[in-house]
Amino acid sequence: MKKSIAILTVIFVVSCNISAQKNEEDIALKEYFADAEFFLAGEFYADALSDYMQVYRRGYEDNANINYRIGICYLNIQGQKDKSIAYLEKAKKSVSVKYKESSLREKNAPVDVFLFLGNAYRVNNRLTEAIESYRKYKELLPEDEVNLHKYTDKQIEACNIANEFMQNASNIEFVNIGKPINSGNDDFKAVISGDGNTLVYMHKLPFYDAVYYSVKKDGAWSEPENITSQLMSDGNQYVSSVSYDGKTLYLTWEDEFNSDIYVSYFADNRWSVSKPLGQEINSKYWESHASISKDNKTLYFTSNRNGGVGEMDIYVSELTGEGFFGPPRNLSILNTELNEDTPFITPEGDKLYFSSQGFTNMGGYDIFVSEKGANQEWLVPENMGYPVNSTDDDLFYYPLDSKGRALYAQIIEDGFGGTDIYQLSFREKSFTEEETLADKDADTPIVEQPETGKQEIVSEDEGRHEMPEPAVEKEPAEAEKDAQMPGQEIKSVSIKPVFFGFDKTELTPESKAELDKVVELMSSQPVIEIKVTGYADPLGPENYNLLLSQRRAQVVLEYLAARGIKTQRIKTEGKGETGFIAVNTKPDGSDNPAGRKFNRRAELEFMGTDNSVVIIRRIDPVPDNLKIR
């Protein structure tokens, strides 16, 4: 009897221990999960990942919800975004429309997993898979989620744009500025004085982001100094820009609810405690960045204050006689309904570089540049292309001059670890290396079609029709013969549209050669006037494409005017994404860059021509297989 009681006692004690251990394990799991959810909500992704992995290793390896949340964390950690794919692919196998947020008992992933997986594929340049995942997400998304449908459509468009930019990569050199500036930690947000001798940047330390300062002596950078304490920062101030003379430093002071622009001055061999700029600049809203002009009189900054074009907008403010910055003006042509950020003015003051989510881009933020026109207004911005831009967020491009040289933080395999600071410069292509439009982004080259002696004009309704030359339509040779006066030689000129690169307004060598023929013609025939109509392909926001097409027409005018043609003889118009002369999609509905490139053009229409002196023939460059039927 006593033996039986002893056995029962042992069983009871063991059961209690097992039950207690299980309770402790359950409590630990709940605590890890709760902490992870807290960090995820605060966007502390590395901390959230650490706690989610504790749950994952305790029997949740196949839990779609935990895999989903781990995937989100990796997707937001610089240098580890490729790891997100495996977890999100695992999570998508078990999806529920009745997903319960913030519950450890939830075994499924929400339909949003396809959106995040699409983003993960995109930032890792697996663009075809990204498009498939985005389309799956749209299938599962309720129709009344209009904004999410628009966002997803933009991501699909970004993948098509990325494909095109990657096929037309710029010739760029990235040079690591080396030690002692770059280290095994993240080094980023670098700004430099006009003389190139003062460098201020951010350096990630174990518990905070520090502001570092270095000067160049005898051609080498000094050992960087941590000036965070001089600024009286708690690790929440970030470098924004430095004045041309290297004596004034602009920073942003950030917390969970607000961001303001601060300034610090260098004197007596140290930086002063940073102070906020005046109330015209800082508001109750989020001011995220500031850049100062060479003369210290013009400040470009970003804010999401009321009255803007979109979310974060670019503003400009001028220094007043009292030494304060005055009321800011919204640079509306540079702003979209989404976010713009990190504007930088060049030392020459003729170009403004900034990042945008809203213009035609490869995904996330892209770097854009806008030039000042003849009337000192900013022109339609252009995408800097690949590899300046990537399929991920691209921010903080600090220009050294107007030629495109810049400081830019990147993660590149030859780096010291983490994000390093590089000097970027564009290499000039030789004539033999220069690609013409016929060589770019197409399976089918531009082939001149037989000359017809007819003028092709594009109408408002996007249709195409042919307008015969005055009098009876005849073959070119016959028309020339009939028009020729005794003893007079008739000049014949063949004209093609002027084509542009994707999201570009720059004239290619081929386009310049075409316009040189126009210059010669208009110089010899003073009665001839011309109308230039710009067009865009359908990728990108409609309003932006309208401005882009107007700028393309204006670029043609500027080229002709610079060569002596009076502007009174030239009319311009932009029609945006209309008047297509070639297909934009393939029969299966997928993107067709080979066709789209013909729609990025400026058409030239001549008026006042005399057929007894000159015959102008319009060449149709579109191959039959790409024409709109």
Listed range (97-101, 253-257, 475-479) with the worst mean pLDDT: 475-479
Tokens 């930690």 -> residue? 185
Cis check for the bond before 180: say yes or no (omega within 30 of 0). Answer: yes
Residue 414, classified by CB atoms within 10 Å of its CB into exposed (0-12), middle (13-18) or buried (19+), is exposed
CA torsion sign for 565, 560, 404, 248 is: positive
pLDDT at 614 over 80: no
Q: pLDDT: is 439 or 591 the higher one?
A: 591
Residue 462 binned pLDDT confidence (cut-offs 50, 70, 90): very low
Mean pLDDT of 279-308: 96
pLDDT for residue 479: 40
Q: Which amino acid is at 500?
A: F
Domains annotated on the chain, with CATH: 2-167 (1.25.40.10), 187-426 (2.120.10.30), 438-626 (3.30.1330.60)
> Mind listing the pLDDT tens digit for each residue in 378-415?
999 999 999 999 999 999 999 998 888 999 999 998 89
CA torsion sign for 528, 529, 534, 535 is: negative
This prediction has a pTM of: 0.80
pLDDT for residue 464: 36
> Mind listing the pLDDT tens digit for each residue in 422-460?
999 988 654 344 433 333 343 333 333 333 333 333 333
* Rounded distance between C-alpha atoms, residue 253 and residue 353, angstroms: 22
Closest CA to 621 of 604, 8, 194, 486: 604
pLDDT for residue 88: 98
For residue 209, the SS3 value is strand
pLDDT for residue 363: 92
Residue 17 binned pLDDT confidence (cut-offs 50, 70, 90): low
pLDDT for residue 6: 57
pLDDT for residue 540: 86
pLDDT for residue 323: 84
CA torsion sign for 533, 536, 542, 546 is: negative
Q: pLDDT: is 6 or 518 the higher one?
A: 518
Torsion angles phi and psi, residue 537, rounded to 5: -80, 175
> Mind listing the pLDDT tens digit for each residue in 30-72?
999 999 999 999 999 999 999 999 999 999 999 999 999 999 9
pLDDT for residue 610: 64
For residue 340, the SS3 value is strand
